[in-house]
Structure formats: structure tokens, C-alpha cells
């Protein structure tokens, strides 16, 4: 179902506003929005390839769940994590003392919910980096690739970065939502994990009752997030990816205001929600459905 003309004209106002924000952003930004109810789509710089940071954890999770559903992997298998296996950076596992035992499923949850780098690197080992990329090739993703583990500074210096276009980050969530190419049981489990409550640039400015299924990511100069936002009668995907946005230091003036990718993501998220929330509560002609007053 295509968007009605009234809606298109209304959403053009959102498009103009986002175009202005992207143009005025001091770094580089790409945005992609898909209305999963009507099929309406908007993209700016959406074919540009950005570092994904932790957003690459979505296809890692998908590969784990696919392997489990194919009986190639037991999500309840316990993994022993020694001190030598712990990775620094985001997460909590590296802050825990001694040897720890966690199931594969709990590692996957920590990878998504707390962006735990130790859990992520173990999930990459379990899923297989080549297997993740083979899955992405099979699904005909051209730009999205897992090229290194978390905190692998040698790979970063060598230019081996985890990458995706904005459009393809949007697409992987669209495929999960539609459950066409991806098996419904797999898609449901992946989306359930992606929906676990967490505060992110997309979710933070929205009402607490709004379900957001997605993953954020950040590195120095890079902020990105892709998510499905579930309203009462409508749902949409929002992806914002940024780069060249300062060094990420809290003492740097480049990390605040117009040079902060997280700020840009939150501004676009709130604005997009405000527009879609009106559509969610309106008829196709724009009449509010909650309370009708005749004059």
C-alpha cells in the first residue's frame, strides 16, 4: 500500500527538515526512513558507506539465531570466559573478577543490550566471521561486512573496518520485520533481543512506552543507530549514520552541539516520531482519531 497524497505532502515537511539538518551537520551524515505500514521511503546519502561501530552486531546476532534454528548451534551451551578472553571497552564482562560461565544466548543478549565487547568477540568466534559475511552475501548485501573484531586496533590501523551503507542497515531490519527472506521464528527471536530496553540516541527522546528494536554504535568521530519504532497502528525504520564528527573526547568542543552525531540522531528521531505519531493517530485525510469534535 502506497502513502496517500495527503501523507506524502505532510511527510515532505519532515524530509525538508532532515535535509537541512544533514546539510548543516559539521560532519558527514546519512539518513534512511522506511514506513513499514505504507512502504513510503526517504533517504539522504543512503548509499554512502559508513563505519558501523556496534551496529554490526545485528548481523552477528542474526547468524547466531539462524545457526540455532538450523540445529547447528546450542544457544544454551555454557561458555567459560577466562581473564585472557576479556576485551576492554563497552560492556560489563571485563569488569567481573575471575572465570565466568555464560550461555551463548546470554552472550548474545549482552552483545546487544550492553554492547559488551567481550561477548561480541566470543559471539563472532561462535558464529564465524566468514559465515556472517557469507550470510550477508547470500542475502545480497553489497556493502555490509564484518571485517574485524571489537577493539582490534591493528585492524583499524590497517583500514579493516566494519562497514555498511545506510540503506542496507535499514534493509536488514526490514527483512527481519517482513520475515520473507528470513525465517519467521528466526526473525522473531532476533527482534525480541533487539527490543530489550536500553537508552540510545533514537529511543531516549521518545515516550517510555514506545518499543524500539535496534542497535546503536559509536567510535571516535562515528555515531550511528538503526531501529524499528513501533507505534500503536504504525511502525517505521530509522537509520542515521555519521562520521567525521570530531575525536569523541568529552573535552573537545567538536563533541557537542552540531558536531555530535548522537545529538543529530536524537533530533532526527524525535522529529520523525512526532510526524509519524500524528499519522498513527489520524485518518488518511489527517483527521485525528482519538477524539472527534464537530463544529
pLDDT tens track for 83-118: 999 888 888 999 998 999 999 999 999 999 999 999
More confident residue, 204 or 3: 204
Query: What is the H or E stretch that residue 227 is in?
Result: strand 222-230
Q: Is 177 left (phi over 0), alpha (psi -120 to 50) or beta?
A: alpha
Averaged confidence pLDDT in the chain: 90
- The residues pairing with 234 across neighbouring beta strands, listed in sequence order, are none
Cell 573537545, located at residue: 252
Domain boundaries, the chain: 5-280
Q: Classify residue 18 by burial, with Cβ atoms within 10 Å: 0-12, 13-18, 19+.
A: buried
Cβ–Cβ < 8 Å for 265, 212: no
pLDDT tens track for 251-270: 444 444 445 899 999 999 99
Q: What percent of the chain has pLDDT over 90?
A: 78
CA 239 vs. chain centroid, Å, equals: 7
Cβ–Cβ < 8 Å for 228, 177: yes
Nearest Cα to Cα of residue 227 among 160, 282, 286, 276:
276
With a cut of 60, say whether residue 2 has pLDDT above it: no
Nearest Cα to Cα of residue 55 among 168, 214, 197:
214
Cβ–Cβ < 8 Å for 246, 255: yes
Q: Classify residue 92 by burial, with Cβ atoms within 10 Å: 0-12, 13-18, 19+.
A: exposed
pLDDT the model gives residue 4: 63
With a cut of 90, say whether residue 167 has pLDDT above it: yes
pLDDT the model gives residue 254: 42
With a cut of 70, say whether residue 222 has pLDDT above it: yes
pTM of the predicted protein model: 0.90
Question: Side-chain half-sphere of 100: how many Cα atoms within 13 Å?
Answer: 19
Q: Which residues have C-beta within 8 Å of that of residue 92, sequence separation ≥ 6?
A: 110, 114, 116
Q: Which CATH superfamily is domain 5-280 in?
A: DD-peptidase/beta-lactamase superfamily (3.40.710.10)
pLDDT the model gives residue 251: 41
Question: What is the spatial distance between Cα 78 and Cα 48, in angstroms, rounded to a whole number?
Answer: 40
Amino acid at each position: 500500500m502506497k502513502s496517500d497524497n495527503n501523507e506524502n505532502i505532510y511527510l515532505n515537511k519532515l524530509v525538508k527538515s532532515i535535509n537541512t539538518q544533514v546539510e548543516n551537520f559539521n560532519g558527514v551524515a546519512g539518513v534512511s526512513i522506511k514506513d513499514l505500514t505504507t512502504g513510503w521511503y526517504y533517504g539522504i546519502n543512503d548509499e554512502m558507506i559508513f563505519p558501523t561501530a556496534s551496529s554490526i552486531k545485528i548481523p552477528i546476532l542474526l547468524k547466531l539465531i539462524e545457526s540455532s534454528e538450523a540445529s547447528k548451534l546450542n544457544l544454551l551451551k555454557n561458555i567459560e570466559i577466562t581473564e585472557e578472553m576479556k576485551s576492554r571497552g563497552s560492556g560489563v564482562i571485563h569488569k567481573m573478577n575471575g572465570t565466568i560461565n555464560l550461555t551463548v544466548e546470554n552472550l548474545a543478549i549482552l552483545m546487544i543490550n550492553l554492547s559488551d565487547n567481550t561477548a561480541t568477540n566470543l559471539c563472532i568466534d561462535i558464529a564465524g566471521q566468514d559465515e556472517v559475511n557469507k550470510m550477508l552475501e547470500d542475502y545480497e548485501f553489497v556493502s555490509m561486512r564484518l571485517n574485524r573484531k571489537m577493539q582490534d586496533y591493528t585492524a583499524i590501523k590497517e583500514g579493516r573496518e566494519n562497514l555498511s551503507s545506510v540503506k542496507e542497515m535499514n534493509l536488514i531490519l526490514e527483512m527481519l520485520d517482513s520475515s520473507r527472506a528470513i525465517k519467521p521464528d528466526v526473525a522473531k527471536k532476533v527482534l525480541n533481543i533487539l527490543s530489550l530496553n536500553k537508552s540510545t540516541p533514537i529511543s531516549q527522546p521518545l515516550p517510555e512506552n514506545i518499543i524500539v528494536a535496534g542497535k546503536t554504535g559509536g567510535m571516535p568521530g562515528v555515531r550511528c543507530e538503526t531501529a524499528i519504532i513501533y507505534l500503536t497502528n504504525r511502525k517505521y525504520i530509522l537509520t542515521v549514520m555519521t562520521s567525521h564528527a570530531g575525536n569523541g573526547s568529552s573535552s573537545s568542543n567538536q563533541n557537542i552541539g552540531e558536531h555530535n552525531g548522537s545529538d543529530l540522531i536524537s533530533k532526527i528521531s524525535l522529529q520523525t516520531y512526532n510526524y509519524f505519531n500524528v499519522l498513527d493517530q489520524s485518518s488518511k485525510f489527517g483527521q485525528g482519531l482519538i477524539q472527534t469534535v464537530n463544529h
